[in-house]
């Protein structure tokens, strides 16, 4: 994935508000997508996934939207909590690839 | 539930030395992936194995090699270490080759001095 180095895009939201994190993926052939949450010094943690035959999938407090036309993925977090503060990555997988490609992360900061 | 186990968690080496990182996948997972993550960067895919055979190769330097053993654990061997190799190295495992969720370990932090 394209790296933004030390200057991660940052999204700051008030506790209780909804958060929307966006991701533009690179390969139109990608058919499976995962959102990961990564806290400092820890491994990426699965949040929610979606396959290309769907455009929306909901989990507990999270919703993923997929727009294949513009190769765009978004993660919506409802009622954002302090524990949601982390870096969020989208990852894509293609039918022929045997790995997941990560997009640049977004740092979510939840303000009290 | 058992997770992906990586060792060591922290490793400090000098330039030109070698290092070996180990990964124990979740039981019954047959696929292992290695990723490298520099400070503030997204994880970069290095290499993956399925049923003990290399399945895909990413941006892994020629100085690095890896393998998956009969018990499905994997080792990443890094030689002639450079300062730029300092990073977090993550291992992930899954049940299906490229079609299922990747479960990540907590990572091994390599510091090259």
- Of B62, B36, B33, B58, give the one whose Cα is nearest residue B48: B33
Examine the pLDDT at B85 and tell me if it is beyond 60: yes
Q: Which residues contact A27 (CB under 8 A, 6 or more apart)?
A: A71, A92, A94, A101
- Please report the pLDDT score of residue A27 as a whole number: 87
- Give burial (CB, 10 Å; 0-12/13-18/19+) of B25: buried
Per-residue pLDDT of chain A (112 residues; tens, 9 = 90+): 333 344 678 999 999 999 999 999 988 888 899 999 999 889 999 999 999 999 999 999 999 999 999 999 999 999 999 999 999 999 998 766 668 889 889 999 999 8
Which pLDDT value is given to residue A98?
Answer: 64
CA distance A40 to chain B (A): 10
Question: First and final CA of chain A: distance in angstroms?
Answer: 32
Choose from B5, B25, B43, B94 for mutation: most chain A CBs within 10 A.
B43
| B9-40 tens-digit pLDDT | 999 999 999 999 999 999 989 899 999 999 88
B contact residues 82-111, partner A, Cβ 8 Å cutoff: 90, 92, 97-99, 101-107, 109
pLDDT at A66: 97
Within 8 A by CB and 6+ apart from B16, the residues are: B80, B81
Q: How much is the pLDDT for B88?
A: 97
Average pLDDT over residues B48-63: 91
């Amino acid at each position: 994935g394209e790296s933004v180095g030390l200057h991660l895009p940052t999204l700051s939201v008030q506790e209780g508000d909804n958060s929307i994190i966006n991701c533009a993926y690179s390969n139109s052939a990608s058919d499976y997508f995962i959102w990961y949450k990564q806290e400092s010094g820890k491994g990426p943690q699965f949040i929610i996934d979606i396959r290309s035959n769907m455009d929306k999938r909901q989990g507990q407090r999270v919703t993923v939207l997929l727009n294949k036309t513009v190769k765009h993925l978004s993660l919506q977090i409802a009622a954002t909590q302090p524990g949601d503060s982390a870096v969020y990555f989208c990852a894509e997988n293609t039918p022929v690839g045997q790995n997941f490609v990560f997009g640049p992360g977004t740092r979510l900061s939840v303000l009290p | 539930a058992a997770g992906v186990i990586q060792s060591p968690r922290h490793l400090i080496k000098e330039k030109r030395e070698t290092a070996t990182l180990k990964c124990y996948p979740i039981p019954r997972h047959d696929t292992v992936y290695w990723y490298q993550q520099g400070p503030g960067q997204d994880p970069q895919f290095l290499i993956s194995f399925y049923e003990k055979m290399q399945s895909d190769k990413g941006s892994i330097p020629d100085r690095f090699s890896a393998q998956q053993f009969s018990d499905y654990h994997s080792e990443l061997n890094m030689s002639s270490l450079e300062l730029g190799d300092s990073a977090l190295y993550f291992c992930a495992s899954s049940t299906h080759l490229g079609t299922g969720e990747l479960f990540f370990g907590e990572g091994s932090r390599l510091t090259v001095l």
